[in-house]
Amino acid sequence: MKNIRQSICEAVGKGSRKTILNLAAEFEMAELMSSDISDEAFEFILDLLSSEELFNRPGMSAFLVNISFDMNKFSLTQKAQMLSVVQLNYSRYSDLEFCWVLCDIVARNYERSVALKAFGDLVNDVTSEGRKGIALGLDAIAKQSKRDSNTMNEIEKISRYLSQR
């Protein structure tokens, strides 16, 4: 994991996005193909979500895409830790693709009430890219919840507040 992190940080200039995509594929093959998530891989994921030198780099959303396919491997405690780290750092996320993929993960892999609370808590202090990510997450929940009027009311409330920001 340290080698992958170091390689990400060294990837600058032309071709850096392609390098990061290749590193994401390497991470997937090394860590995500197993039946569980190693402690080292999980620490890397937390670092990815909390370190500005990582999360705002173009192409880092590829790591999140790979992680999204394996969310069923994470324990409830790990998922809670991930969401906590996201909530602490979301106001600094400025890569649109990263925000989109991350909010889609939250919308599809956390209980509806947990995801809605997280999105509601995040709207106060976000980048414009972060707002777009939250809107995408809310849309994903809405598509799954059209018959649940309470959920739809909560989505509308958060969306309205989000548009006023």
What pLDDT is recorded for position 165? 67
- Residues 61 and 99: beta-carbon distance below 8 Å: no
| 5-18: average pLDDT | 90
For 72-83, b where at least 16 C-beta lie within 10 A, e where not — what string? eebeeebbebbb
| 22-32: average pLDDT | 86
- Tens digit of pLDDT for each residue in 94-133? 999 999 999 999 999 999 999 999 999 999 889 999 999 9
What pLDDT is recorded for position 32? 60
| 55-67: average pLDDT | 94
**Cα–Cα distance measured from residue 45 to residue 39, given in angstroms and rounded to the nearest whole number:** 10
What's the predicted TM-score (pTM) here?
A: 0.92
What pLDDT is recorded for position 2? 80
Per the listing, tokens 């991350």 go with: 102
What pLDDT is recorded for position 147? 85
- Residues 85 and 45: beta-carbon distance below 8 Å: no
- Residue, of 60 and 2, whose pLDDT is higher: 60
Is 48's pLDDT higher than 80?
yes
- Residues 127 and 161: beta-carbon distance below 8 Å: no
Q: Give 157's pLDDT tier (boundaries 50, 70, 90).
A: very high
